[in-house]
Amino acid sequence: MLSVAMIGRNEAGTLAAALQSVRPFASEIIFVDTGSNDATQTIAAAYGAKVISFNWSDDFSKARNFALENCSCRWVLSLDCDEVVRPLSQTERFFSDLAKDERSLGYTVNIENRLPGGLLSSHEDIRLFRNIPEITYRNPIHESVSESVYKLRVNEPLSEAGFLIHHDGYASSERNREKLSRNLRILKRWIELSPDEPFAWYKLGMTLKAVSAEESVACLFRSFELLLSRDDRNSFAFRFELVQVLVESLRDVDQSISQLIQSEGIRAFA
C-alpha cells in the first residue's frame, strides 16, 4: 500500500533511525543514492530498501522524481535521511483508513525541526501523496509536490496525516554550513535558468539572510517586483510571508520602509 521514497548521499550517521521508523507500515522502501562513499547503501539494503544509484545533477526534483518512478504502491511517503516518523495515538487507525481512501490526493504532515541550541520550529508539507503520474516534484531545490497536487484539486484543503516527522538536519552547525554552500550554488543556477521565477528569488533572499543582509533584501525585493507583475500573484502562497520578511529585512538594514508600506504594491497583496 505504501512506498517510502528517499534520496541521499553519505547518510550513514542518520539513515538507520529513519528506516527503523517506517518499518511498521512501509510496504516497500525505495532509496535513491546520489553518490555515497560511506556505508549508506549497505545500511539501506540491510533494512530491506531497494537501492538505486542516480547521477546527481544539482537538482533535487530530478532525484526525487526518479525515486517516484520506481515506487510501485498506491501511496508514497517522502522522507529525508535525517528524519524519523513519530507515531501518534491515531497512527494505526490512520493507515488502516488510508488503505480504503479512494478520493484524497495527499495529506499534509507536521514536521518538527530541531535547531541549534535545542530550539524547535515546525512547518507543514505534503509528504504523503497518491502515486499517480500527475503528481511530481517541481524546482531544483526547495522541491515540492504541492503545485502538482493543488493543480489537480484547486483550492481544496488537504487533511493532516495521523503522524509527525521529526527532523534533526538543522541541529548541526557544521552541516548547516555545508547545506548553505550547496543551496546557494543551486539557487543561483536556478535563477540563471529562470530569471523571472519569483519563488527562486524569494528562496535565494531567505538563504542569503545568513550571509549578507543587503544582498538578501535585494533578492527579496526582486521577488516582490516579479510577483507584482503577474496576474496570477494571488496563487503564490508565499506572498504574505515575503512581504513580512521584506519589511523586517529593510528595517534591519536601516532603510526607510514608510514608502514601501504605503505603496500600492503592498496593498496588492492584501
Sign of CA dihedral 117, 120, 121, 125: positive
Place of cell 504502491: 73
**pTM for this model (two decimals):** 0.85
pLDDT given for residue 226 in this prediction:
95
Q: What pLDDT is recorded for position 171?
A: 54
Residues 250 and 255: their CA atoms lie apart, in Å, by 5
The label of the residue with cell 553519505 reads 10
What's residue 170's pLDDT?
62
User: 62, 5 in Cβ contact below 8 A?
Assistant: no
Q: Which residue reads 530498501 in cell numbers?
A: 49
Residues 54, 63 contacting (CB under 8 angstroms):
yes
184 sits in which H/E element: helix 173-193
Going residue by residue through the chain, which has 270 residues, state the pLDDT in tens, using 9 for 90 and above.
999 999 999 999 999 999 999 999 999 999 999 999 999 999 999 999 999 999 999 999 999 999 999 999 999 999 999 999 999 999 999 999 999 999 999 999 999 988 777 778 888 999 999 999 999 999 999 999 998 998 898 777 899 999 999 998 665 556 667 788 899 999 999 999 999 999 999 999 999 988 888 899 999 999 999 999 988 877 677 888 898 888 888 877 765 544 554 454 545 554
Task: Enumerate residues 6+ apart whose C-beta is below 8 A from 43.
Answer: 12, 15, 16, 19
The structural domains of the chain, ordered by start, are: 2-167 (3.90.550.10), 173-267 (1.25.40)
User: How high is the pLDDT of residue 262?
Assistant: 45
Residue 231's pLDDT is 86
Sheet with 75-78: list strands edge to edge. Answer: 50-53, 28-33, 2-8, 75-78, 120-130, 106-114, 159-167, 83-87
Cα–Cα distance, 127 to 106 (Å, whole number): 8
Res 264: pLDDT:
46
Give the residue among 56, 75, 72 at the shortest CA–CA distance from 7. Answer: 56
pLDDT of residue 153: 81
